[in-house]
Structure formats: structure tokens, C-alpha cells
Structure 1
Amino acid sequence: MTTARTAVPDVIALTQRLIRFDTTNPPGREADCVRFVHGLLTEAGVASTLVAKDPSRPNLVARLPGRGVAPPLLLHAHVDVVPTEGQAWSHPPFSGDLRDDHVWGRGAIDMKGSLASMLVALLGLHARGTPPAGDVLLAVVADEENGSAVGARHLVQDHPHLFDGVAYAVGEDGGASLELDGSRRVHPIVVAEKRAVWLRATFRGPAGHASRIPPEHSVPRRLNRLLDALAGGGLGPRPGAVTHRMLTALAAAHPGPLGEALLRFRDDPADLSALKPLSERDALFLRSISQHTANPTVIAGGTRTNVIPGEMSVDIDGRLLPGDFTADDFISALRAKAGFPLDIEVLVEGEPMPEPVLGPFYERLAGVLREADPDGVPVPMMTTASTDARLFPQLGISSYGFMPLLIPAGSGYRDLLHAPDERIPFAALHFGVHCFEQLLLSYP
């Protein structure tokens, strides 16, 4: 006789079901999806509760008791997804179609497929009566794609007691990846994130007729000088421990010219010639995680083509490396790089990111991947994007990005985040279930 306790969903079917909830954010509409997960856990006998700042956008926190040989572990996953408007899809983005041994649809990679793997691993242990090493908390949250205000930030700020005793958190990897030459499968373990500091620089000066060369202090001339100063995309190399360790591991796995190039860049990140053996994609990623970056993204101002404007502004997407470099430091560095005073306001300042921890828990994450895929190379990485992992360290929780995928080397699946034709292989989902099970059973 089959009981609810022993019924474990199939990870492929569960990924399909989750994708079929249209949780595009904005507006979000995560409630039906979160309540579906709540029902799944309740039916299986796993205690869970709904917590909402906005009743139409609830979050879920579940707890599976463990053996007590390890501190509580948090698994967190968001169910909201980015919009699909303006993208050309081969299959309807919320159909969850099964084609060519893949599940297709928005969220397959980011990150409903990973949530399905977490759920099946957790429910599988529960159904077999095999408790994990410590209590496992599962947080299924809203709003990660648009600031986390009603999602993880609400949980951390208003319900911190739910995470009492939690030492480690595991969530998405933010799309961190390197393809290199495609000879080895690289498994990123995100141990650090850059944090967002978005700025607006406003220029004011004399207006005039655009048929004449404007004076040096005019708005267009100063705007152009700032854009020229930021043309390289960053503030210059600032090597850190994560990048050093990552490049060392990758060089060891890629002997020959590629490995030598990685070591050259590790030892001198100002030597851009070292990156010539790499693709442009990989070279730009390595440069991005080796420095604070600043990219102009939105320019506003002006009224007519033939009028020199008296005011213009430019928005700058800044991404800061972990550590003690503050938003004020960033603004000072931008002013110095421009070479003239800048009127700057802060639009968004992300949560400060602590220095990464590469201790026993990281080693266990890497060990799980090595055991499951001896041909793969687990490496510590930094992601240039922000995820909900930036929030849980406020509670003293060490956070990691861990999205185990068994995919062909150099296949670029992680590049499908936010892109059309997002999809995930069946094999990657089963691999994820296995890795999460092994992690829950054996983490320190």
C-alpha cells in the first residue's frame, strides 16, 4: 500500500508543473506556485508555513528534522521568473514541453529546475525515513528577480527567528560559469557575489545653440569625458582570494597554453594579453570578477537636436567586489577617474557582502560534485550578479551558490538564464537530485 509519506514526485514532471505557473516578475503572481509546493510538502508530512508581506505573494519555509550531527542547513529557491516579452521562443515559455530529453520553459534553469531537485531530494529522504545530518530548512520565496522586498528580504528582516541556528545556506549560482576550451566540465560553486551600487551622475551647465562647439564646462563635454573614463568598464584590477584560487584550480585542470594563460592572468590581472587564448565571453567574465565595474546604462536629457542641453544625467551600474570597499569609496574612485567634480546620487545600494568562506562546508560541496562526476572540476567562483544569497549573511549564515548540473562541457546552459529557449536536460535534473541528497546526508 502506497502512503503519502512514500510518494515522491518525479523530478521531470515536477519541473514541468512548476514552469507552468506563470510567475513573471513583475508583477510576480507567485501565490499559486508557492501554495502548490506547500500542498506537496503537507501531503508528504513535512511541516511548512506560509509567510507573506504581501498576501498575494507569499513565501514558504519548511523544516525537515535531522540527526543532530550538523547545524541546520538552509536551501533557498525563488519561484519568480523574468519576463519573456520581446523574445523569440521555439516552444511556449510556460508550457513545460518535453522535447529532445529536455524540459523547456522560463525558469527551467533559473531556477525551478533546481527547486524541483531540492524538493525531490528532501522528500525522498523523508519518504525513506532517512534523516539528513542536521535539520534542513527549505525557503521557497518570491520576488528575487525584482529586489526581494516581499521575498527573502522580508524573511530576513521581519522573521529572522525562522532561521535560528542555521549555519549554511545553499541557493542558485547566479549564472556563474566559464566554458574555456570545452575539454572539462566546470562545476561552479559560488562563494561570493559582487554587490550592486547604482548611481546617477547629473550634469548642469549653460544651454546654447548646437551649431557651435560648446565650452569645456558644458554638459555634453563633461558627459563625454565621463563616458571616455568608463570605457574600459571598471576601476582597474583588484585581485582577490577567490579569483586566485579559481584560476589555480582551472589551470591545473587545463594543462598547456590555456592553463599557462590562466596562471599569467592570475599573477597579473592587468596583463590582458594573457587572456588571448580565451573566448571573449570568458575573458570578460574574468576581468569582471577581478575589479569593481562601472557601466553607463541610461542617458537622459535634452529637448531638441539643435539645442545644447543645460542638464543631462547618466545612470551607472556599479558592481563592487566583496570586502570593505564602500559605496562612498566607489563614488570617490569614479570622481578621481573622471578627473572633475561629479554630482552623484545613489539609486540602489546592495547589501555589503562579507569575505568568502572556503572552509569545511565548501569542501563538502566540492566533494559531492567530485564523487558524482569524477571528470568534472568543481571550482570556487564569484558571480557578477546578485541573488538572495546577499541577504542571509545578515543573519550570520554563510551562503553558497550550488546548482549541480550534469551538462556537456562548453554547452552554455547557464547562459540560458533570462534568455529565450531556456531549457534543462533530464540528466541534469536527476544529477541535481543525487547531489542534493548526498549533501543533506553528509554535510559538516
Structure 2
Amino acid sequence: MPASSLLDPVPLLQDLIRIDTVNPPGDEGRLVAHLERLLIAEGITDYKVVGPSAERTNLVVRFPGRGEAPPLLLHAHSDVVPVTGQQWTHPPFEGRLVDGEVWGRGAIDMKGGLAMMLAALFRLRERGERPAGDVILAVVADEEDGSGAGAGYLVENHPELFEGVRCAIGEEGGAGIELAGIRFHPIVVAEKRPGWLRLTLRGPGGHASRLAAPGNPMARLGAVLGALSGVRLPRHQMPAADRMLAALAGALPEPLAGAVARLREDGAADAPPSGLPQAEALQLDSVLRHTVNPTVVRTGHKINMMPAEITVDLDGRILPGEFEVADLVAEIRALIGDDIPVELLHEDPRVRPELIAEPEFGAFYHRLEAVLRAADPDAVPLPMMSPATTDATVFARLGIRCYGWLPLLLPAGAEHRRLLHCADERIPVDALEFGTRCLTELLRDHP
């Protein structure tokens, strides 16, 4: 029988937060070793630890089911983003429980989700129950830096571990959103993929005590940042975004419902509804177009030298479907011109369009909705297209239908969703318990 600490996501999460897996460098192997010890203590031996190095490992463990459904994949990444330059109220790697919330890097993104998955699986095991089908839990490295050592490594080197899997559950969805007094539980059905780029600005440098020469890289930098910061690229409305807007318009009260309907139906009315909070308005706007944001600028290190070269790294996100990096670059060039070299730093391979651009709203999706409605009858499940990218786009290469679904019932007006990658990341204990109960119900009976 599992120890009580394995049935409660809170101590599980606290232990996970205390294992520093900031990526880079990652060092996720320490967390995998911790989970391996838990599995061995419970007599679970059907697992594999694989990865490109001893420091960058992935854990894939199979929990046997009743044979009434195909195997189901639960995937969770073990790495977290840095905390450098952030001011935290409580230390980010101590996993403190303060006022009913677990604080620490990864509390939401996504060690909290991993803790819920583990607790749900161990609860079924403690009750002597088996899930409807085998459940494959993949704890993967490197999601925060391109997935090469994690999901990418597994898909390329060990696809046999996922044989027969038809559907998968991962991060990004679930955490409740409140709009106009209505609570929505997102179910992510499609994602963008990254197209990370680097611009190189070159021109006359020189001694900084003199007037700068025309066309110097610093002057050009200002124009580039001005052109690309917060830019709204041309609109491309994909099926997943269309269904998301339709669901919102059908659930929201007027006049917001009408505004969302017009945004969906009238391509010329290309502005997010003014009645939405800024964060939600920006998210809606982001799923209707490719996006690009300048994030890293590299230049000289001497105050008295005008640099002759400056690089600007761009976080580009490409809509699903037939779009390529070249489509994003063409839209960027329309703003900055053709004379600036553009280098591709990273691109996730394009998933077959039918696996990501055309989401499947069949029995499995309806089961996700049903679990949410039973757990929170006053809320509305929302099919969502995410402007971000997760390991779902990697596992989808195996023909797996991936959904972002980690339910969290957050307090009204809560800021927790906006704390991903920020200081003071934390998650309420009640939200962890809500998500664990939902996952347990899904695993008990999934199609």
C-alpha cells in the first residue's frame, strides 16, 4: 500500500521543488533518481530510465490497466526556468507551505502537474483499482529549452515505449479563467510551435566619444525593436482558434459575447474585444496570428566603444497547420526590410496538420469535458488553442492526439496563471487536490 505521502500531491510537490532542475543546465537526473526510489519502494519495476547523459534522463513508467481502453500517456517535464534576477517573497527552491499555498519554482510549471499525476496514480493503486487502460507516465527533461534531451530524445530513440497510445494529457490547460463572472476550464487542443530566430545588425563602430556614424548598429537596433515589440502580424484564423472563439461567444454575456462573435466572424474586425482583461485579450489576439518578440540583445561590453555588431534573438511562434518558418520570416521582413541577416536558432518539426491543426473532438475530448463538469458544475469547459508550445507537439509526431488538461480550481481573481516563469510562483493546496481528483476520475474511466 502506498505511503500516505504518495497519495497527497502537496508533499510530493514540495520534494520535487527542492530538487533544483533549472534549465540550463537541467540536471533532471537527480529528480528522476528521486522518483525511481519512490517506485522501487512501492514494488513498481516496469519502468525505464533513458536519456542522452546521466544528468539528462527521462523516466517512463507503465501502470497496468484493465484492458478496456488503449494506453494513455501522461507527460510532465521535470525541468524549470531560472530565477536569476527575480525577487522572491519565499526562497524558490524550498517548497514552503505558506497560507495554504505551495511556493517555489515549478509549482505550476509543471512540477505541480507531475505531483497531481503521481498522486492520482498512487490513489488508484492504494484502492486496488486499475485505470481503464495502461497508463504510461513520461517524466521528461528539457521542455524549457527545446525538448531535445527530453520528449524529442524519447520520440526519436524510444518510440516503442509509446506503442498503442492514442491520446495524451499534458500541461498548459486546466487552470480556471474567469471572464465576465463566468469560470472557464481550458482544454488545450492545439498549440503553436517555436521558430526562434536571430537578427544580426552590422555597421560602423568606433570610439564612443565622437558622434556616431549614420547607420550604426545601435541606431538600427532602436528601429528593429520598435518595429517588432508588440507587433500584430497578419491574421490567420485556424480551426482550433475558431472553435475557441465560438465557445467563448456562446458562454459569455452580452455585450462581450457579441464582440467575440464579431472577432470570430469578421476578419476585418481584427481587434480583441475591449471588455476582456488585458491578459486574456492578448492571449486571444496571439492565437489568431504568428507572433514574434525580441527577447535577448547582445552587444559590446565597453562603454567607450560603439559596437560594430549587435544580435537580437526573437521568440517566434508559428501557427499549426501548413505554415513554415519561412512564412514567419516573410512577415518579419515586411517590417524590418531585407538587408538584415536572419538565422534560424530552433524550430520544432512541423506536425502533420491533421494531428494538430484539426483537433479531434471525439469521445476522449468529451470525457475530459464530463470530468470537469462533474467536478465544477458552475464552470464551462473551453476548447483552447495555446499561443505557447509544450511537449505535446513532440509526442504528436508519433500520431498521438495530445490535450493540455491539468485542472486547477483557482480562487476568483487569482494571479497564479500569470506567475509562470515569474517570481513568487505558487499553487493553492485546494487547487492541487481538485486537479488530483479530476485526474483520478479520468484514469478510472477513459475511452
Q: CA deviation at 1:320?
A: 0.7
Q: Deviations for 1:62-99, whole angstroms, at most 9, x for unmatched residues?
A: 11111222111100111222222322222222222222
2:278 aligns to what? Answer: 280
2:402 aligns to what? Answer: 399
2:391 aligns to what? Answer: 388
2:436 aligns to what? Answer: 433
1:48 aligns to what? Answer: 47
The farther-off stretch of 302-311 and 235-244 is 302-311
1:330 aligns to what? Answer: 328
1:107 aligns to what? Answer: 106
The farther-off stretch of 386-395 and 356-365 is 356-365
Q: CA deviation at 1:115?
A: 1.0
Aligned in 2, Cα 1:330/1:40: closer, same or farther, shift over 3 Å?
Answer: same
Aligned in 2, Cα 1:157/1:174: closer, same or farther, shift over 3 Å?
Answer: farther
Select the residue among 237, 262, 279 that pairs with 1:264: 262
Equivalent position amino acid for 1:435 in 2: C
Give 1:98-137 correspondences, 5 Å limit.
Answer: 98-137=97-136
Secondary structure at 1:75 match in 2: strand
Separation of aligned partners in 1, 2:287 and 2:218: 31
Q: CA deviation at 1:103?
A: 1.6
Aligned in 2, Cα 1:301/1:406: closer, same or farther, shift over 3 Å?
Answer: closer
Separation of aligned partners in 1, 2:111 and 2:26: 14
Equivalent position amino acid for 1:434 in 2: R
- Structure 2 length normalisation: TM-score? 0.89
Separation of aligned partners in 2, 1:305 and 1:95: 39
Q: Deviations for 1:166-186, whole angstroms, at most 9, x for unmatched residues?
A: 1111111179875433x1222
Separation of aligned partners in 2, 1:393 and 1:33: 25
Q: Deviations for 1:366-398, whole angstroms, at most 9, x for unmatched residues?
A: 221111111111111122222111210111111
Aligned in 2, Cα 1:112/1:296: closer, same or farther, shift over 3 Å?
Answer: closer
Aligned in 2, Cα 1:342/1:124: closer, same or farther, shift over 3 Å?
Answer: same
Select the residue among 347, 351, 368 that pairs with 2:371: 368
Select the residue among 355, 358, 361 that pairs with 2:357: 355
Q: CA deviation at 1:308?
A: 7.6
Alignment size in residue pairs: 440
Q: CA deviation at 1:145?
A: 1.7
Equivalent position amino acid for 2:399 in 1: G
Aligned in 2, Cα 1:342/1:87: closer, same or farther, shift over 3 Å?
Answer: closer
2:90 aligns to what? Answer: 91
1:145 aligns to what? Answer: 144
Secondary structure at 2:109 match in 1: helix
Equivalent position amino acid for 2:334 in 1: A
Secondary structure at 1:380 match in 2: strand
Aligned in 2, Cα 1:175/1:110: closer, same or farther, shift over 3 Å?
Answer: farther
Select the residue among 401, 421, 426 that pairs with 1:418: 421
What value does the CA root-mean-square deviation take over the aligned residues? 2.8
Give 1:84-233 correspondences, 5 Å limit.
Answer: 84-173=83-172, 178-181=177-180, 183-204=181-202, 226-233=224-231
Aligned in 2, Cα 1:226/1:90: closer, same or farther, shift over 3 Å?
Answer: closer
1:377 aligns to what? Answer: 380
Query: Is residue 109–residue 423 contact of structure 1 (8 Å, CA) maintained in 2?
Result: yes
Q: CA deviation at 1:135?
A: 0.9
Q: Deviations for 1:351-375, whole angstroms, at most 9, x for unmatched residues?
A: 3243142322222212211111111
Equivalent position amino acid for 2:138 in 1: A
Separation of aligned partners in 1, 2:183 and 2:243: 17
Select the residue among 19, 26, 36 that pairs with 1:21: 19
Listed as ranges, the gaps of 5+ residues in structure 2 are none
Q: CA deviation at 1:296?
A: 2.7
Secondary structure at 2:161 match in 1: helix
Separation of aligned partners in 2, 1:176 and 1:417: 12
The farther-off stretch of 418-427 and 293-302 is 293-302
